[in-house]
Amino acid sequence: MSPQGTLITPPSMGREAQTEPIVGSAARGVTGLAGVQSVSPPRMSLQDRREFLVRFVTRQFTDIKTEGLRTLMRKAVLAFEALAAVPFVLVARLIRPIVLIRFGGLPTAFLGHLALDMELLLCRKDAGLHGRRVFDMFCISQSIANQQLTRMWKRVVHVSRFARAAERVNRWLPGGGLNRIPFPGAVNDVEALLPQTASHLSFTPAEQREGYAALQQLGIPGDGAFVCLSARDPAYYVGRPRYADHQRRYRNSEIQTYLPAAEELARRGYAVVRMGAAVQRALQTGNPRIIDYATAARTDFLDVFLSAHCRFFVADTGGLVALPMAFRRPVAVANFVRWELPGSWSPYDLFIPKTLWRQDTRRLMTVKDILQSGAGRWCYDAEYAAQGIDIIDNTPEEIAALVREMDERLKGTWRTTEEDEELQQRFLEQFRRHSTLNPDIQAYRRIGAEFLRQHQELLA
């Protein structure tokens, strides 16, 4: 091998679906990760149903007494819709052997779930993993994190007010489990379907024109390459106490640690667009090629358009990273935490993880330690704290090295070495030995080369 290493040719990033058949456990319908299967609500006992009915009726009378005629009329309409839905739901159950009609709500409350839960659901249907002819009816019953993305899904799937009544009736009547839309318990492409399929989302010609005009207003020419950048920010959850983000602060990142990476991309000729629906502070830079879109011109539409048209997306584990994944755009993920819950990896994606420091042993946890202890799946701050584990963010230098590698891999100028490939295989081998993840995912899982060079002790 030459001293410069082996030149890496980037994989195709076309929007078209691959023509090869779905292979591996995706074709076999294997779920691949314990605890991440499609889930349905637990069954209620007869006594539980009676108690629920009593509480429900009591609450209706209390609401009417407190809020008056307008509430009475609204509830009367809801009751009429529910009664009208009863025969439809019963017929839907009777015809299951012919066609399976399912009911459920669009997961609109959080952007990540709205993007990837829906995309993965449709990919699984296309792959035949649901096993029969299926027709899904969606409703909107939550707050909406992104109006544009919701609008785009309405063009793809059936969404109606009647579906909400049918979903409620199906939930209330015993025996409706098969008629519930089976969203996954976590946003994970455990069948490795995304790299093998095309996105179900698309823009209308009018939206394309609007998007390119908006790029011009941001200072990005129509043919100009740009990279999106985001860091999960606690400001997004201010005023949303219901979702208890204080339990998941380990997923947050400090945006200023991404600034050297943004400067590097700007030197390489890219415009860099800082994303985010709500942020605590502006990005401190005077570089005209770095656009702090999150604090200025942000809209739901542009969040989607930028994510779908960027050269690649630099992110952490915030929900915004699901948008480029749904559109099959390359992602470089820094500050990745839940090592065993990858979301999605495609052949052109890279990541580097936060490291975990054990207070009792005074050392970093190895990959083996993380997988065997279960820390690779933990979802809450308290789980790490209870085991005396500190979470260490990636350094600005590590993030900058990640984006350099990403850019050069996509351009076809990255030169890998035998040492890099050996380290990569040693990393993947740890997952093959100690993880229950679908091995098809591991084939796409690539960690940043410089990070591995500097942290070879993690492979012990």
Q: Is the pLDDT of residue 442 over 70?
A: no
pTM confidence score: 0.83
Extract the runs of DSSP E, i.e. beta strands, from 57-201.
Answer: 100-105, 134-139, 158-159
Q: Is the pLDDT of residue 243 over 60?
A: no
DSSP secondary structure string for all residues of 272-327: EEE--SS-SS------TTEE-GGGTT--HHHHHHHHHHSS-EEE-SSGGGHHHHHT
Average pLDDT in the 240-267 region?
A: 80
**Tens-digit pLDDT profile for residues 141-156:** 899 999 999 999 999 9
Cβ(321)–Cβ(230) below 8 Å: yes
Cβ(438)–Cβ(190) below 8 Å: yes
Q: CA geometry: angle at 168 spanning 166 and 172, to 5°?
A: 115
Lowest mean pLDDT among 187-201, 269-283, 286-300: 187-201
Please tell me the predicted confidence (pLDDT) of residue 437.
67
DSSP secondary structure string for all residues of 22-89: P-HHHHHT---STT-SB--PPPPPHHHHHHHHHHHHHHHHHHHHHH-HHHHHHHHHHHHHHHHHHHHH
Say which residues have a Cβ less than 8 Å from residue 265's Cβ, sequence separation at least 6. 227, 272, 314, 403, 407
Give residue 24's region: left, alpha or beta (phi > 0; psi -120 to 50): left
Q: CA geometry: angle at 189 spanning 183 and 35, to 5°?
A: 60
CA distance 237 to 279: 10
* C-alpha closest to that of 410 among 57, 10, 47: 10
Lowest mean pLDDT among 266-280, 404-418, 424-438: 424-438
Residue 262, CA distances (Å) to 204, 224, 228, 308 in order: 31, 16, 9, 19
Taking the CB of residue 319, how many other CB atoms lie within 10 A of it?
Answer: 22
Q: Is the pLDDT of residue 295 over 80?
A: yes
Q: Is the pLDDT of residue 246 over 60?
A: no
Cβ(288)–Cβ(273) below 8 Å: no
Q: Is the pLDDT of residue 4 over 90?
A: no
Average pLDDT in the 392-402 region?
A: 97
Q: Mean pLDDT across the chain, nearest whole number?
A: 83
Please tell me the predicted confidence (pLDDT) of residue 18.
39
CA-based torsion, 107, 112, 115, 120: positive or negative? negative
Average pLDDT in the 349-378 region?
A: 91
Quickly state the pLDDT bin for 1 (edges 50, 70, 90). Answer: very low
Please tell me the predicted confidence (pLDDT) of residue 117.
92
Cβ(449)–Cβ(404) below 8 Å: no
Q: CA geometry: angle at 396 spanning 410 and 248, to 5°?
A: 95
Cβ(8)–Cβ(446) below 8 Å: no
* C-alpha closest to that of 292 among 327, 252, 258: 258
Q: Is the pLDDT of residue 40 over 60?
A: no
Please tell me the predicted confidence (pLDDT) of residue 3.
42
Average pLDDT in the 180-188 region?
A: 77
Instruction: Report the DSSP beta bridge partners of residue 159.
Output: 138
pLDDT: is 440 or 336 the higher one? Answer: 336
Say which residues have a Cβ less than 8 Å from residue 436's Cβ, sequence separation at least 6. 32, 33, 34
Q: Give the residue ranges of DSSP H helices in 340-417.
A: 367-373, 381-386, 396-411
CA distance 352 to 421: 16
Please tell me the predicted confidence (pLDDT) of residue 188.
74
Identity of the residue numbered 1:
M
The 3-class SS string of 234-271 reads: HHHHCCCHHHCHHHHHHHCCCHHHHHHHHHHHHHCCCE
Please tell me the predicted confidence (pLDDT) of residue 14.
44
Lowest mean pLDDT among 200-209, 373-382, 403-412: 373-382
Q: CA geometry: angle at 379 spanning 283 and 148, to 5°?
A: 55
What percent of the chain lies above the pLDDT cut of 70?
78
Return the DSSP state at 224.
-
Q: Is the pLDDT of residue 134 over 90?
A: yes
What percent of the chain lies above the pLDDT cut of 90?
54
Please tell me the predicted confidence (pLDDT) of residue 60.
64
Taking the CB of residue 21, how many other CB atoms lie within 10 A of it?
Answer: 9
Taking the CB of residue 76, how many other CB atoms lie within 10 A of it?
Answer: 11
Please tell me the predicted confidence (pLDDT) of residue 10.
57
Instruction: Record the tokens describing residue 97, joined without a space.
Output: 């052997």
Average pLDDT in the 365-388 region?
A: 87
Backbone dihedral angles phi then psi of residue 231, each to the nearest 5 degrees: -135, 130
pLDDT: is 380 or 210 the higher one? Answer: 210
CA distance 301 to 312: 18
CA distance 446 to 348: 9
